[in-house]
Structure 1
Amino acid sequence: MPTFGWESIFWFAGLTLLLLPIMYKQLSETASYIIRKGKKEKLIATLAKLSQNRIFKENRALSTVIFWIAFFSCLLMVYGLNTWFPKLMMEAEYGLNSSLGFLIVLQGGAIIGTLIIGRLCDKCGSKKMLVPMYGSGAVALTLLGFGVITLVIYLLVAIAGAATIGAQNIVQAYVSQYYPPTIRSTALGMASGVGRIGGMLGPLLGGFLLSVSLPIHLNFIAFAIPGLIAAAALSMVPLKNAYNNVNDIKEETIKDHVS
């Protein structure tokens, strides 16, 4: 930026447009377009690559919607905090250097939290860890708005990072394990797509909150609420419909018949 100006960042991001010819070549056209062009063989070949979309079938509709809510809420928090966290801390009367330091701690907490909670998820189950993670993140964000000693602030920021950004890393693994292999990419892709809507709204929410000059603790509470929503939603995920559990039940049934 010092050499080429802030515009250079957008020019660099725009280099991805060079991939458009490759995308145009590789991505499939819609079925209706192929039919209009009379390319029935191409349509059959394309449809043969697609597996049946079963994310709403076999008793998974509720789980799918719940995961969408969790992704939406979490990415709203993640992108909102990443964009506005230093400004929020400055509004809480911390200096610019301290506020940027808090952002580093937020990201550091996410990295460490992902590693630690990931191991615990392997032992205790993802749902048992994710629900309290989202809840603790909401509590940490709420307490940040009331101002305590600096050491405690750093601790709360680290917890918030682990319970927002870290939780988003964990919940993606949870979704991929919940669905059968043939539809995992569809389930995770759809949940991530819905989550990106929350990711777009997060920065807008932060900007709106700062523009209306609310008391600082209400700003933090506003970002804590999606964490509570995500925790409540994931607590209702029916474990009996998870792919591993269904397979275990089938195997036990087969063994019973054999014996």
Structure 2
Amino acid sequence: MANINTTEVISQSKFNRFHFILLFWCTFIIAFDGYDLVLYGSVVPYLIEEWSLSTVQAGTIGSYGYIGVMFGAISFGILADRIGRKNVILLCIMLFSLFTALCGFAPNPEMFSIYRFIAGLGLGGIMPNIIALMTDYSPKTSRSTLVSIVLCGYSVGGMMAPTLSIFLIPQFGWEIIFWIAGIPLLLLPIMYKQIPETPNFLILKGRNQELSKMLTKVNPGFTYSKSVQFEMRTFTENGSSVGQLFKNKRGLSTSMIWVTFFMSLLMIYGLNTWLPKLMFEAGYAIDSSLRFLIVLNFGAIVGTLIVGRLSDKWGPKKLLIPMYVIGAVCLVLLGFKSSMFILYILVAIAGACTIGSQNIANAFVSQYYPPAIRSTALGVSSGVGRIGAIIAPTLGGILLAAALPIQLNFLAFAIPGIIAAIALSFVPEKYAYYKQLEKKTSQEVSLHKAAGND
């Protein structure tokens, strides 16, 4: 009986219609994930006025959603490695779309906070599972690029929220921005039919026929027969999936990745929540302040696409460290008066080096760990990082309430970038799954050549 290694079949595939459909849906889902997470920062000035909130109260309400995101990232990331990523993805879409839309019907801050928390559970579970799914089915030569394109959806959604706010809120009120978030619910039946389950899960469940059809779409050169047995190229590890993150000499790597995610998300959610308000306090009109949020996410898209492509050639870690440092420098410079053109440039670079860096960091983590614990690794890393996201809105609210110089507000969100760069520099790549895979493949090639010579 012949053994077919699904990892090799997928790695050797070329980008085709199957990858395009998967790429489209993953990007679409992440776009609404980004929209739902960023929209609070777009409407917070209106909520402060309508509900007579202090900046600390507004920041606390924003944190409730991120608490949900933290729990969702950890729990749904672990759950997906057990019941399948497709099922978890669809469940998370239902949660975040429905309860974000319900925020538009909230009669008071208390109900709004409850809806945001429940929506956050779904939002937290989406990203790690989408990244893991795209990584599982991506050709080796374009893995970082495809994951980066998917993660650009976050910034597309991040641009949608303030753009729609500028045009729709004056006519229809802030509620409509939340109602738009319910659109993915209408497309769930189509997503159910077109989004695949991961190869590893199909093998574990013995669904070989379904897997064979999937692999034929992924790699048309693959042919299946009943005498074939599927296997995943992975490295067997004992213990719970969370415990495995620290096995095989990955303890330092996992710890430093968690620090990196914490600091990175502290920067990102601090900016997404408070950048419009900070620029408003600096003397810019509210519409102008929202445009800074659009530029921030536009910069993230451009930065992610460029660096994602370079990561396939040079490796993500080599690019991430300088990006975090550059992002921190740009945030410091934003605290000083400059021309509008210079400010837009700084905000765009900051977007590329904060949101863009986090996108590449997700791609890096998705390849660092074995497929069997990939969702867990991304989910737990994201969950730990969300603690930074929880702190960020409240921290920004406290800083604004203290009426500190605007430069100190930006400095507070710049320092985490330096810490993230330092933490990432301690992550040894030699223990990464892709390095082990390359080493094992090299050894097999050497043995094959030796056998041929004999």
Relative to the length of structure 2, the TM-score reads 0.47
Per-residue deviation, 1:15: 11
Per-residue deviation, 1:256: 4.8
> Which residue is 2:366 aligned to?
176
- Of 392, 397, 410, the residue aligned with 1:207 is 397
Query: Are positions 1:137 and 2:231 aligned together?
Result: no
CA RMSD of aligned residues (A): 2.8
Query: Are positions 1:112 and 2:206 aligned together?
Result: no
> Which residue is 1:128 aligned to?
318
Task: Identify if the C-alpha distance between structure 1 residues 188 and 15 changes in structure 2 by more than 3 Å, giving closer, same or farther.
Answer: closer
> Which residue is 2:342 aligned to?
152
> Which residue is 1:228 aligned to?
418
Per-residue deviation, 1:95: 2.4
Note the alpha carbon deviations across 1:71-117, whole angstroms, 9 max, x for none. Answer: 11111111111111011112222222221111111111112221121
My pick for the range that moved more, 56-65 or 145-154, is: 145-154
> Which residue is 1:9 aligned to?
103
Task: Identify if the C-alpha distance between structure 1 residues 15 and 243 changes in structure 2 by more than 3 Å, giving closer, same or farther.
Answer: closer
Preserved CA contact (<8 Å) 1:51 1:183: no
Distance 1:103 1:249 in 2: 44
What SS does the aligned partner of 2:332 have? helix
Per-residue deviation, 1:123: 1.5
Distance 1:226 1:139 in 2: 11
> Which residue is 2:281 aligned to?
91
Per-residue deviation, 1:170: 1.4
Task: Identify if the C-alpha distance between structure 1 residues 148 and 120 changes in structure 2 by more than 3 Å, giving closer, same or farther.
Answer: same
Per-residue deviation, 1:252: 3.3
> Which residue is 1:59 aligned to?
249
Preserved CA contact (<8 Å) 2:103 2:116: no
Task: Identify if the C-alpha distance between structure 1 residues 226 and 119 changes in structure 2 by more than 3 Å, giving closer, same or farther.
Answer: same
Per-residue deviation, 1:51: 7.3
Preserved CA contact (<8 Å) 2:266 2:388: yes
Q: Which amino acid aligns with 1:142?
A: V
Distance 1:15 1:252 in 2: 49
Query: Are positions 1:78 and 2:172 aligned together?
Result: no
Q: Which amino acid aligns with 2:319?
A: M
Identity of matched residues, %:
57
Distance 1:146 1:122 in 2: 36
Distance 2:300 2:443 in 1: 41
Preserved CA contact (<8 Å) 1:141 1:160: yes
Distance 1:100 1:209 in 2: 20
Q: Which is bigger in relative contact order (C-alpha 8 A, separation at least 6)?
A: 1
Per-residue deviation, 1:118: 1.0
Structure 1, unpaired ranges of 5+: 18-47
Preserved CA contact (<8 Å) 1:51 1:182: no
Task: Identify if the C-alpha distance between structure 1 residues 222 and 16 changes in structure 2 by more than 3 Å, giving closer, same or farther.
Answer: closer
Q: How many residues align?
A: 228
Task: Identify if the C-alpha distance between structure 1 residues 98 and 187 changes in structure 2 by more than 3 Å, giving closer, same or farther.
Answer: same
Distance 2:281 2:117 in 1: 37
Distance 1:103 1:247 in 2: 41
Task: Identify if the C-alpha distance between structure 1 residues 77 and 239 changes in structure 2 by more than 3 Å, giving closer, same or farther.
Answer: same
What SS does the aligned partner of 2:283 have? coil
Distance 2:353 2:116 in 1: 34
Note the alpha carbon deviations across 1:188-230, whole angstroms, 9 max, x for none. Answer: 1110111111111110110011111111111101100111111
Distance 1:162 1:90 in 2: 22
Q: Which amino acid aligns with 1:116?
A: I
Preserved CA contact (<8 Å) 1:86 1:100: yes
Structure 2, unpaired ranges of 5+: 1-42, 44-49, 52-100, 107-111, 119-203, 206-237
Q: Which amino acid aligns with 1:154?
A: Y
My pick for the range that moved more, 60-69 or 242-251, is: 242-251
**For 1:18-29, what aligned pairs fall within 5 Å after superposition?**
none
Q: Which amino acid aligns with 1:118?
A: G
Relative to the length of structure 1, the TM-score reads 0.80
Q: Which amino acid aligns with 1:180?
A: P
> Which residue is 1:36 aligned to?
none
> Which residue is 1:238 aligned to?
428
